[in-house]
Amino acid sequence: RAQVRSAVGILAERAEALAPEMAPSQATAARWALRRLLGPTSPPTPRLDAKVKDLPFDLVPGLVALGPDPGSLPNSGATRVGELVARLEVEALRQQIPFQQDVITTASGAQVHERRHTAWLAEEGIGALAYSGKLMPPSPLGDAPAATAIRDALQV
């Protein structure tokens, strides 16, 4: 086990050294892998952190992989998330969220079909989202109670 931790530490150093050359997606993947493999003992990664600082999200390994007593984590929101995960069903999300695959425009101007499904849920008064050369009109957030339950559980 110590040898694996040592090897991951070496990978962390290399990733940190290469961070200035990485795309944000690569830096995100590297940060996630280090956090997942080393957990709270993961070394600081200021260069990787700088590459992803402007992204509107962060990946948190283990956020919903809670132990049998999530309530033992003080003030973390873990109790709400743990309770939600126990009853959340992917099928409910599929039924409630109008996912779609569209044609998007790449940086070079080429038009391609998205590889992923996307949806834009918004509260009343929130407009469309411009994303990858397309305009996504909002679907009512209120029509997706599973999504609002996730949002509410994650708000600390």
Q: What is the pLDDT of residues 43-97, one digit of tens each?
A: 899 999 999 998 877 777 766 554 455 445 444 555 566 667 667 777 888 899 9
Whether residue 82 sits in one domain with residue 37: no
Residue appearing with tokens 């290399």: 14
| Counted domains in the chain | 2
Whether residue 76 sits in one domain with residue 40: no
Q: What angle do CA 92, 154, 82 make, to 5 degrees?
A: 70
Whether residue 28 sits in one domain with residue 94: no
- Decide: 34 and 63 in contact? Cβ < 8 Å: no
28 in a structural domain: yes
**Averaged pLDDT of the chain:** 82
User: Among 23-32, 53-62, 73-82, 131-140, which range has the highest average pLDDT?
Assistant: 23-32
- Domain of 15? 2-52
Q: Which residue has the higher pLDDT, 137 or 39?
A: 137
Whether residue 124 sits in one domain with residue 81: yes
When pLDDT is averaged across residues 99-113 and rounded to a whole number, the result is 87
Q: Which residue has the higher pLDDT, 131 or 148?
A: 148
59 in a structural domain: no
- Decide: 96 and 77 in contact? Cβ < 8 Å: no
